[in-house]
Homo-oligomer: A and B are copies of this chain.
Amino acid sequence: MTSDFTEVARRARTASYDLALANRGRKDAALHAMADALLTRGPEILTANGEDVARAESGGTPPNIVDRLRLTEDRLAGMAQGLREVAGLPDPVGEVVRGSTLANGLELRQVRVPFGVVGMIYEARPNVTADAAGICLKSGNAVLLRGSSSARASNAAIVAVLRDAVAGAGLPADAVQLVPGETHDSVKTLMRARGLVDVLIPRGGAGLIRSVVEESTVPVIETGVGNCHVYVDRAADLDKALAIVLNSKTHRTSVCNSAESLLVHADIAEEFLPRVVAALQERGVVIHGDPSFQAYDGVLVADEEDYATEYLALEIAAAVVPSLEAAVDHIRRWSSQHTEAIVTEDVTAARRFAAMVDSAAVMVNASTRFTDGGEFGFGAEIGISTQKLHARGPMGLPEMTSTKFIVTGDGHVR
């Protein structure tokens, strides 16, 4: 453990003690101050971002990655607006989750409390820096931020601006800190900081998340990888099915809740396949199909790799299945347990699919794209958990807390 990191983590812990006691009014005031500062000090952030963009471009970074890295006045305004929206959400801290008076008169309350110190490891987008800082602050957590080194100047500028704003609003600046160090060693240090860091949240591609999950001794909330399926049942309304398949696949391809595989019941394949193949191809989607799908022009051969792949692009794997059970078996084998959808008018089929599929979200006659904190009405979202411990699915502010029991007696002993 480097002494730099230990020092930063200790300051975060001290800040977390203050933050845990800060009431909603103080935290919301800090969030508005952070939003204001992103706007008033936008020029210095954009200058720093310009350095990152120039370095990326001269290093031959692909244009779509450079675009994710680039900040503009509009994007800064979006980040500021995000912070104001977090200010508008209820404070999860202090919520009484359950309570009772025990037979012996002890008063039991289980109350939401912040985790303490949260570590965030994330990739190129510098807007995550402000989002994560805002969500952590509102939920009473100090945050240690480790963005990608390609965004280091942007992240440093954003954090400097946010820290000043937090301090100006009377809360500890050390509630928001960057993890020191540029190399991968600093990520490792963060991952091994059990006791100093309470929870680690990786946000990014499958490789990043896998490495954090495997190497971290700090408890991790795994987010995001989505190999999502749409199953079109024999009892589907085929118009709804077509709309849901197209929306799930093509509404936005680069996100974890987009569909990557299509399963069609054999009984309706003859009618549905020509429609869905034509409609997908018309929108530029490359289909990797099983033999039934391969009967159509332009459909490529699907192998196991295709069923396992999260394309995040205009590509989809497709197969015909003989039954709902076979669809469930396919999903159990290949899904990342993020979101699966069934299209059916048969209430028993819907009920069985929802019971048998073990994913964070199961959609019945709705697009996979609805698995989203905003769509679910949770407001800000720190990510979509695909693990089973603590939080599953879209994570809002309450998911950024732990609880404690407060038990009040009058000299009670056993």
Contacts and interface: CB of A to CB of B under 8 A. Distances in A.
A251 interface: yes
A362 B407 contact: yes
Contacts of A404: 358-362, 392-393
A390 B389 contact: yes
Given A375-B102, A388-B199, A405-B376, A411 B237 contact: yes
Contacts of A408: 350, 363-366
Interface centre among A239, A362, A404 (most CB of B within 10 A): A404
Contacts of A261: none
Interface string A374-404: 0111000000000111101110000000111
Interface string A122-142: 000000000000000000000
Contacts of A21: 355-356
A108 B365 CA distance: 13
Contacts of A51: none
A223 to B, nearest CB: 14
Contact of A405 (B213, B240, B361): B361
Nearest to A103: B377
Nearest to A341: B407
Contacts of A221: 389
A406 B354 contact: yes
A90 to B, nearest CB: 14
Interface in A108-123: 108, 110, 113, 115-116
Nearest to A108: B376
A11 to B, nearest CB: 15
Contacts of A103: 377
B115 A369 contact: no
A404 B362 CA distance: 8
A112 to B, nearest CB: 11
A279 to B, nearest CB: 13
Contact of A365 (B217, B388, B394, B412): B412
A286 B247 CA distance: 70
Contact of A370 (B247, B390, B407): B407
A47 interface: no
A21 B355 CA distance: 7
A390 B390 contact: yes
A334 to B, nearest CB: 13
Contacts of A356: 17, 20-21
A364 B407 contact: yes
B364 A409 contact: yes
A20 B248 CA distance: 28
A247 B358 contact: no
Nearest to A245: B413
A367 interface: yes
Contacts of A254: none
A40 to B, nearest CB: 34
For the complex of A and B, the 5 pairs showing the least CB-CB separation, nearest first, are A366-B409, A240-B411, A247-B413, A388-B402, A390-B390
28 contacts: A17-B356, A20-B355, A100-B377, A103-B377, A108-B377, A110-B393, A115-B388, A194-B213, A213-B217, A219-B220, A239-B411, A244-B413, A247-B413, A247-B414, A350-B408, A358-B404, A360-B405, A361-B406, A362-B404, A362-B405, A364-B406, A366-B407, A366-B408, A366-B409, A366-B412, A370-B409, A375-B414, A388-B402
